[in-house]
Chains A and B, each alone.
Chain A
Amino acid sequence: MDRQKKIHEELLNWDDTVRKRKITLSNPVFIKGLALAPLAVAATTFKNSFILSLMVVMLLTPTRVITSLVTRRMSVPLKTFFYPMVSALVFGGAYYVMYKIMGVTAFSLGVYLPILVVDPLIVKNFEKTRKESFTYSIINGLRNTAGFVLACMLLGCLREFLAFGTVAGRQIMSVALLPMADKPFGGYLIIGLISAVWSLCVNLYKERLIKEDAMYE
C-alpha cells in the first residue's frame, strides 16, 4: 500500500521528483548537458576524472551557498557578474587546497580546471529570479555535485578502458577497443551515447511506474 501511494505521489509530482533526483533522473551531465567541455576534453582517465570531481566538490556547493546568501536582493544583470566572481574566489582557495593535497598533479589538466569557474554547472543559478534558502542551496548543491561526480568518474573509467584497455591504471585488456576515446571528439561521442542510453533508462523507469500505478488501481 505504501509503495502504491509512493508511486502515485511520484507520478503526480513528476517534475519535483525529477528535480530532486540529480544523480539519476536529472543528471547534470547526461540529462542537462552541463560541463561538457571540461568532461569531453579532460576526463580521459580515472585520474583526470578524480581531479575534476575533487575540484567540483570544493567549488560547486560553497559557490552556491555564498551566492544564495549574498545575491538575494540583486538584479539579474548584477548577479551575472557576481556569480563568476564568487566562484573565482572559491576556486582560488580550492586550487590551493588541491595543490597541497596532490602537488603538481593538480596542474595536469591545464586550462580545463580553471574553466569550471564560468561553467554553467557552477554559475547557472544566476538566471533564477526566485530566492534560494540556505538549506535548499546546500541540498541542491550537494545533489548536483553527486550527479556530476558520478558522471565524471563513469566517463573517465569508460574512456580509459576504451582508449588504453586499462581502468585506474590497471590493465584489463591487451587491445584498445576505441583509441579515439581519449580525444575530445571521442569524448563527445561517448557522452552522446551515454546520454542517449541514460535518457532511455529514465523513460523506461517512468513507463514502468505508470504501468505499476495502473495495476494497483
Chain B
Amino acid sequence: MNSQTYKNNYRQHYDYMMLALAPLIICASFIYSARVLLVCGAAFITARIVDVAMAVIRKQEIDADDKSSAVAALTFAMMLPVSVPLYIVVVTVALTVMVGKHAFGGKDSYPFSLAALAMCVAAVNWPNEVFKAVAPLTSVNFWTGAAQSALTGSSQIKLGGLPYISTFDLLLGNHPAAMGSSFVLVIVAIGIFLLATKQITWHIPVSFLATCTAFSLAFPRIYGVSRLYSLKYEILCSAIVFYAVFMMNEPATTPKNPRAKLVFGVLTGLLTMLFRYYGSYEIGGCFALLLVNATEGYWDRLFEKKTEDSTKEDKPAKEQVKAEKTASKHQSEPNGKKLYRKEAVAEKTVKAVKQPKQPKEMDATTTLDIISRAEDEIDQVDFSTQTIDMEQALREFEERYKGGK
C-alpha cells in the first residue's frame, strides 16, 4: 500500500482500530469484571466531550467521524489496571486530548501518540494507582475500584526477582497485569487481522519486536536462568506486543516511508528497552514512543530524499534538468558572443530602464472587472465590527487599481 493511499485512509484506520479494540475489551471484562466497561466508557465519553468542546472553542465544525481521540482513550484505558479510580481516567484523557491533540491543530495534525502521552501523564501523576495491578478473577468494587493488588511479572523482574508464570498463562493473559495489554494471543490475532486488512504495515511492529527481542537476548535481566527464559518474561509479561500492534501504527504520528518505518521501529525498540532497564517506570515503551515521535518527520524526509536520489528512472530527467540549466547559463547574442546569466540580466535591466513601459490603457472589460472586484471586497467587509475611513479607502483603491493593475 503506498503512502498516499495510507494517508487517505485515516478515517477507515480508526474505524478498524475501534473494531480491533473490541475483543480486548470483551476479554478484559470477562477476566477482570464488568468495571472494565465503566473505565472504558468513562475514557470514551470524556474523549468525545472534550473533542466537541474544543471544536466549539476553536469555532470549528464538529466532526462526528473523527474517532482518533476515542481510539486513543480506549487504548489508554487498556493499559490501566481495573482498579484505577475514574477521576484519573477522566482528567488524563481530557488533558491529553486538549493539550496533545487540539493544541497541535487537532485531527491528523498532532505529532505525539495520544495513548502514549496519556499513559505518561497518568504514570507521572498517579504512579501508585496506575501501576497497581490486580490478579485475574479478583473481586473488584464496581464504583470505587477497590481490590486486592498483586505484583506484576515485569515488576518482579525490575525488583531483581524471578517470576514464575506458565507460558500458557502468559499467552492468555492470565496473570496480574493491566486490563488489556496482557492478552498476547488475542493481540497477535488482532495484529494479523489489521495486517490482512491493510490497516497497518509489517515494518514497524516487526522491527520493533525484533529489536526488543535482540536486546533482551543480548542483555538478559534475569540472572541464573537461560537467555530464552529471560526473553519470554521480558516480552510476554510487559505490554510490548500491545505497543507494537495498537500504539505504534497511528498514521498521524508514524513515518510513511517503509524504510523510515523500519528505522522508527528499531529506534523505538531500543529506547523502550533502555527505559525499561534504567528508567523508573515500567511503561518504557510510551516514553520511548513519544521521543521517537518527535523525529518522525525527519526520517520520512531523509529516506524520501535518498529514494529519489537513487531511483534509476530519474536519471534521464536529472540529466535533462542539468542540460537545461547549462543552456540557460549561456545566452547567445546576435553576434554570437555568449553572455553569462548575470550579464544577461544586467543587459535586460538596462534596456528596461532606457525604454520604460507605458501604462496600459484600460478597456471597458477591465474597468467592469475592477468594479465587480471592488464590489466583492466591499461585500466582505463587516461594517458592524469595522470602522472605515472612506477617504483613505478611496485613495487606497485608486492606487491599487491605477493603470488596470
Are A and B bound to each other?
A: yes
Q: Given the interface contacts A179-B125, A179-B126, does A214 sit within 8 Å of B99 by beta carbon? A: no
B95 partner residues in chain A, CB cutoff 8 A? 178
Question: In the complex the two chains form, what is the Cα distance from A217 to B95 in whole Å?
Answer: 44
Q: Given the interface contacts A175-B87, A180-B125, A189-B99, does A207 sit within 8 Å of B387 by beta carbon? A: no
Q: Which of B87, B91, B103, B384 contacts A214 (CB 8 A)?
A: B384
Closest CB in chain B relative to A92 CB, distance in Å: 38
| B196 contacts partner chain A, Cβ-Cβ < 8 Å | no
A210 touches B385 (CB 8 A): yes
Question: In the complex the two chains form, what is the Cα distance from A175 to B384 in whole Å?
Answer: 48
B385 partner residues in chain A, CB cutoff 8 A? 207, 210-211, 214
Interface core residue of B87, B125, B385, B387 (most chain A CB under 10 Å): B125
Q: Mark A171-182, 1 if CB is under 8 A from B, else 0.
A: 000010111100
Question: In the complex the two chains form, what is the Cα distance from A178 to B384 in whole Å?
Answer: 43
Question: In the complex the two chains form, what is the Cα distance from A59 to B205 in whole Å?
Answer: 56
Question: In the complex the two chains form, what is the Cα distance from A208 to B261 in whole Å?
Answer: 50
Question: In the complex the two chains form, what is the Cα distance from A211 to B95 in whole Å?
Answer: 34
| B124 contacts partner chain A, Cβ-Cβ < 8 Å | yes
Q: Given the interface contacts A211-B384, A213-B387, A214-B387, does A178 sit within 8 Å of B91 by beta carbon? A: yes
B124 partner residues in chain A, CB cutoff 8 A? 179-180, 183
| B121 contacts partner chain A, Cβ-Cβ < 8 Å | yes
Question: In the complex the two chains form, what is the Cα distance from A214 to B387 in whole Å?
Answer: 8
Question: In the complex the two chains form, what is the Cα distance from A175 to B128 in whole Å?
Answer: 14
* Nearest B residue (CB) for A207: B385
Q: Mark A44-69, 1 if CB is under 8 A from B, else 0.
A: 00000000000000000000000000
**Count class of interface residues, chain A:** 10 to 19
* Nearest B residue (CB) for A183: B124
Question: In the complex the two chains form, what is the Cα distance from A207 to B385 in whole Å?
Answer: 8
B126 partner residues in chain A, CB cutoff 8 A? 179
B125 touches A178 (CB 8 A): yes
Question: In the complex the two chains form, what is the Cα distance from A179 to B87 in whole Å?
Answer: 13
**How many B residues face the partner with a CB closer than 8 A?**
14
Question: In the complex the two chains form, what is the Cα distance from A192 to B87 in whole Å?
Answer: 23
A183 partner residues in chain B, CB cutoff 8 A? 124
Q: Which of A180, A210, A217 contacts B121 (CB 8 A)?
A: A180
* Nearest A residue (CB) for B122: A180
Question: In the complex the two chains form, what is the Cα distance from A189 to B117 in whole Å?
Answer: 13
Closest CB in chain A relative to B174 CB, distance in Å: 33
8 A Cβ contacts from A158-193 to B: 175, 177-180, 183, 189, 192-193
* Nearest B residue (CB) for A12: B387
Question: In the complex the two chains form, what is the Cα distance from A192 to B125 in whole Å?
Answer: 18
* Nearest B residue (CB) for A213: B387
Question: In the complex the two chains form, what is the Cα distance from A175 to B90 in whole Å?
Answer: 14
Question: In the complex the two chains form, what is the Cα distance from A211 to B103 in whole Å?
Answer: 29
Question: In the complex the two chains form, what is the Cα distance from A178 to B91 in whole Å?
Answer: 8
Question: In the complex the two chains form, what is the Cα distance from A180 to B383 in whole Å?
Answer: 47
Q: Mark B112-147, 1 if CB is under 8 A from A, else 0.
A: 000000000100111000000000000000000000
B383 partner residues in chain A, CB cutoff 8 A? 214
Closest CB in chain A relative to B165 CB, distance in Å: 32
A217 touches B125 (CB 8 A): no
Closest CB in chain A relative to B125 CB, distance in Å: 4
Question: In the complex the two chains form, what is the Cα distance from A207 to B386 in whole Å?
Answer: 10
8 A Cβ contacts from A30-85 to B: none
Question: In the complex the two chains form, what is the Cα distance from A67 to B383 in whole Å?
Answer: 47
A217 partner residues in chain B, CB cutoff 8 A? 387
Question: In the complex the two chains form, what is the Cα distance from A175 to B121 in whole Å?
Answer: 17
Question: In the complex the two chains form, what is the Cα distance from A180 to B99 in whole Å?
Answer: 14
Closest CB in chain A relative to B273 CB, distance in Å: 24
Question: In the complex the two chains form, what is the Cα distance from A98 to B124 in whole Å?
Answer: 35
* Nearest A residue (CB) for B99: A189
Question: In the complex the two chains form, what is the Cα distance from A217 to B87 in whole Å?
Answer: 51
A177 touches B91 (CB 8 A): yes
8 A Cβ contacts from A195-217 to B: 207, 210-211, 213-214, 217
* Nearest B residue (CB) for A214: B384
Q: Mark B73-112, 1 if CB is under 8 A from A, else 0.
A: 0000000000000010001000100010001000000000
Question: In the complex the two chains form, what is the Cα distance from A183 to B386 in whole Å?
Answer: 45
Closest CB in chain A relative to B387 CB, distance in Å: 7
A179 partner residues in chain B, CB cutoff 8 A? 124-126
The 10 A-B pairs with the shortest beta carbon distances in the complex, nearest first, are A179-B125, A180-B125, A180-B124, A210-B385, A214-B384, A178-B125, A177-B91, A214-B385, A211-B385, A178-B91
Contacts A178-B125, A179-B124, A192-B99 known; list 8 others, CB within 8 Å.
Answer: A175-B87, A177-B87, A183-B124, A207-B385, A211-B385, A214-B384, A214-B387, A217-B387
**Contacts A/B (CB < 8 Å), 27 sampled:** A175-B87, A177-B87, A177-B91, A178-B91, A178-B95, A178-B125, A179-B124, A179-B125, A179-B126, A180-B121, A180-B124, A180-B125, A183-B124, A189-B99, A192-B99, A192-B103, A193-B99, A207-B385, A210-B385, A210-B386, A211-B384, A213-B387, A214-B383, A214-B384, A214-B385, A214-B387, A217-B387
Q: Which residues of A contact B (CB under 8 A)?
A: 175, 177-180, 183, 189, 192-193, 207, 210-211, 213-214, 217
Q: Which residues of B contact A (CB under 8 A)?
A: 87, 91, 95, 99, 103, 121, 124-126, 383-387
